[in-house]
Amino acid sequence: MEKKFFTTDEVRHEVFSDQISKGTILTMIREKEIPSIRMRKRFFIPAYWVNEQFRIAEGKEGLK
């Protein structure tokens, strides 16, 4: 089964290579720069957003 959501720690590690803090990611979520869903105190980022960030980094922005 393909992963549908990532935790903030996974996004920090996979997308940003631990170059930004978890607090920065949470700020980006609150400011709607990163889409998310909230379950109680935890935020989850949809896999489509994570995959799009990799496409942008590879120079394939907008391609699916």
Q: Give Cβ neighbours of residue 3 (< 8 Å, ≥ 6 apart).
A: 47
Q: Tell me the pLDDT tens digit for each residue of 39-64.
A: 999 999 999 999 999 999 888 765 55
Query: Torsions phi, psi of 33, nearest 5?
Result: -80, -25
Decide: 45 and 34 in contact? Cβ < 8 Å: yes
Q: What predicted TM-score, i.e. pTM, was given to this entire model?
A: 0.83
- Residue 60: predicted pLDDT: 74
Average pLDDT over residues 36-41: 97
Average pLDDT over residues 23-52: 97
- Residue 64: predicted pLDDT: 53
- Residue 20: predicted pLDDT: 96
> Counting every residue, how long is the chain?
64
